[in-house]
Chains A and B, each alone.
Chain A
Amino acid sequence: MEHEEHLKLLGKTAAGDQHAFACLYEATSPQLYAICLKMLRRKEWAEDAVQDAYVKIWHNAGEYRSGLGTVLTWMVSIARYRSLDMLRFYKVRNEQDIDDHILLGEDDLQELSSADKQQLNFCLDELEDTQKQAIHLAFYCGLSHQEVTTHMDAPLGSTKSMIRRGLQLLKRCLGI
């Protein structure tokens, strides 16, 4: 299984095995790159974010524990935080930029089979369409409340409460 394989490679990485780390990179970097590219939208920034994420993964490999989700989810966290930091530092994305791009199309997502992901999708489908869309825009595209508001053409206050309520419903459904 994917997670067991990643776990084995991460364990060896924590022990300083460069080859295992190379295999882990090979297996996971397309996923992390897709996430960074979707959020940052510029190839060079996404490459920098992926680079930073893997340097951190190499140094922090020993800190992973099963309580943090699957190895891949843990790695996604690192890559997303790095991308969010970079978004904050670059601060160059404007509304025009958002409007000119199709932020998230159906082709961007793939079908997944594992039980926990199915549960997440089930819970997301329980949300109102606007709540789900707002959460998707924030998660995949790294949009702020203000940017989600602009994109969805809704008042800022309602975007905030839409996301807050959506997250509360998700929490209940996922049993967090």
Chain B
Amino acid sequence: MNYLTQQRRDALSAEYVLGTLRGSARVRFKRLILQYPAIRSSVELWEQHINALGTQLQPIAPDPIVWEKVKQRLQFDGANLASEQAVATNVVTLPLKSNRRWKGLSLLASAAAVVLAVLLVQLQPIPVAPVQQFTVMQNEAKESLWLIEITQQTLETRATQKVTQRAQNDYELWMVPTGGQAPISLGLLPQSGVASIAKHPQFDQIDIAALAVSLEPRGGSPNGAPTEVLYVAEIAIL
């Protein structure tokens, strides 16, 4: 099939964007988008027009927990989000002057909270999520690159010194279903240090043949499929 004739390119691009291009044809087309700039342009043109339909749906506000989870996954520290509460709830912030009194009070409250926290920590054992499964991602020379520990809620990942640092790329972690379906993205791996990734809702519900690591542009796969698979490892159950 010649994907590059303009008519064919248009038809496939439109159905890809609409969502009616499915299965292996969709996967193949995703690859072609990456490969051929002309196909990419055609898809972008259709995205621009067809996806404008999406803005016609009556908006529905998601549950606040969704934003909390986004922040958690992006590891936002909260320092830059000082005025987020005001944005989220349209609360009018108090003028600076009258804030001073509250500042004093809140400092006192913070100190009390610290004391309370210390007491609580002393009284209760620190809950540590038990590791259920793990894997070690290795390169061809059998050098360990990442340790990935799987708990009930998260994937705790730790990069070793052997990970090649890439400023222009990210490493993305995938689970590969046993049924031969396309890999499912689990999140980005750290190039150094540790990162906690929220567990994909499907993680415990499907049979996973292996975990895989791909090399991607910054920010992860641009199309939902791994760009270049580098390493694969099976999961061990503890």
Contact with A along B186-215 (1 / 0, CB 8 A): 011000000000000110001000000000
User: Could you tell me how many residues of chain B have their Cβ less than 8 Å away from some Cβ of chain A?
Assistant: 61
Q: Is the CB of B87 within 8 A of A116?
A: no
Contact with A along B26-44 (1 / 0, CB 8 A): 1000000000000000001
Q: Is the CB of B83 within 8 A of A110?
A: no
CB distance from A111 to the nearest CB of B (A): 8
Contact residues in A for B126 (Cβ distance below 8 Å): none
B96 proximal to A (CB < 8 A): no
Contact residues in B for A145 (Cβ distance below 8 Å): 20, 22
Residue in chain A with minimal CB distance to B45: A176
Interchain CA distance A90-B23 in the complex, whole Å: 13
Say yes or no: A59-B62 contact (C-beta < 8 A), given A35-B54, A84-B19, A108-B57.
Answer: no
Interchain CA distance A18-B60 in the complex, whole Å: 23
Contact with B along A43-73 (1 / 0, CB 8 A): 1111110110011101110110001111011
Contact residues in B for A47 (Cβ distance below 8 Å): 62-63, 65-66, 69
Say yes or no: A51-B69 contact (C-beta < 8 A), given A80-B19, A171-B10.
Answer: yes
Contact residues in B for A89 (Cβ distance below 8 Å): 181, 184, 202, 206
Residue in chain B with minimal CB distance to A58: B74
Contact with B along A29-51 (1 / 0, CB 8 A): 11101110110000111111011
Say yes or no: A120-B53 contact (C-beta < 8 A), given A18-B76, A48-B201.
Answer: yes
Contact residues in A for B15 (Cβ distance below 8 Å): 163-164, 167
CB distance from A60 to the nearest CB of B (A): 5
> What is the interface of chain A, defined by CB distance below 8 A to chain B?
17-19, 22-23, 25-26, 29-31, 33-35, 37-38, 43-48, 50-51, 54-56, 58-60, 62-63, 67-70, 72-74, 76-77, 79-82, 84-85, 88-90, 107-110, 112, 116-117, 120, 135-136, 138-140, 142-145, 148, 163-164, 167-168, 170-171, 174, 176
> What is the interface of chain B, defined by CB distance below 8 A to chain A?
10-11, 14-15, 17-20, 22, 26, 44-63, 65-67, 69-70, 73-74, 76-77, 80-84, 87-88, 170, 181-182, 184, 187-188, 201-202, 206, 218-220, 222-224
Q: Can you show 16 pairs from A to B with CB atoms below 8 A apart?
A: A18-B77, A19-B87, A30-B60, A31-B55, A45-B201, A55-B187, A60-B219, A73-B47, A89-B206, A110-B56, A110-B59, A139-B18, A139-B50, A140-B57, A145-B20, A171-B10
Shortest 3 CB-CB distances between A and B: which pairs? A59-B219, A30-B59, A69-B48
